[in-house]
């Protein structure tokens, strides 16, 4: 923890700035997603309105150095290409979805031996019953 009063004040300022910047970033991301959803749904008039809102928010965030100017330009270009039908709408996987585990060479023989072992145990239980 900071000992000096000026350092404590800097921490307070940093917290406020971080919260402000994250709100702006979130707003820009939401506008981009909403516009993509409208394009995917085929509602082009509302998508154009949202695209204009996104452009304004993205430019303002880039001007304030919250996002980089290049990122702003890339996102605007991609959105306009999707809006004009020159690029397919991006469908990204959600971050919380788990990908299936990769099967290694060592794990594959173990699985086959377990599968072979299970029917033999069921045969003995059927004979006993």
Residue 35: CATH number of its domain: 1.20.58.110
Is residue 56, in this structure, part of any structural domain at all?
A: yes
- Whether residue 87 contacts residue 81, with contact meaning beta carbons closer than 8 Å, is answered with yes
Q: Mind listing the pLDDT tens digit for each residue in 48-97?
A: 999 999 999 999 999 999 999 999 999 999 999 999 888 887 765 334 45
Residue 81's domain spans which residues? 12-90
Q: Assess if residue 64 is contained within a domain.
A: yes
Count of domains for the chain: 1
Residue 47 has pLDDT above 60, yes or no: yes
Is residue 77 included in any domain, yes or no?
yes
pLDDT of 116 reads 52
Q: Is the pLDDT of residue 29 over 70?
A: yes
Closest alpha carbon to 76 in 31, 45, 37, 24: 31
Asked whether residue 23 is domain-assigned, the answer is yes
Residue 125: inside a domain: no
Query: How far apart (Å, rounded) are the C-alpha atoms in residues 62 and 57?
Result: 9
pLDDT for 87: 81
Kindly report the number of other CB atoms within 10 A of residue 83's CB atom: 19
Closest CA relative to residue 58, chosen from 14, 20, 15, 28: 28
Residue 82, in any domain of the structure:
yes
> What does the pLDDT average to over 107-111?
52
Look at residue 36 and tell me if it is in a domain.
yes
Is 96 domain-assigned? no
């Amino acid at each position: 923890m900071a000992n000096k009063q000026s350092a404590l004040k800097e921490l307070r300022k940093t917290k406020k700035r971080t919260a402000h910047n994250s709100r702006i970033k979130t707003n820009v991301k939401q506008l981009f997603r909403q516009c993509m959803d409208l394009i995917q749904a085929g509602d082009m008039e509302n998508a154009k309105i949202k695209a204009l809102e996104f452009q304004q928010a993205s430019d303002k965030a880039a001007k304030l150095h919250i996002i980089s100017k290049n990122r702003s330009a890339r996102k605007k270009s991609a959105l306009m290409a999707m809006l004009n039908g020159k690029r397919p709408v991006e469908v990204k996987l959600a971050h919380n979805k788990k990908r299936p585990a990769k099967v290694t060479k060592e794990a594959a023989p173990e699985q086959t031996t377990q599968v072979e072992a299970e029917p033999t145990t069921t045969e003995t239980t059927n004979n006993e019953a």
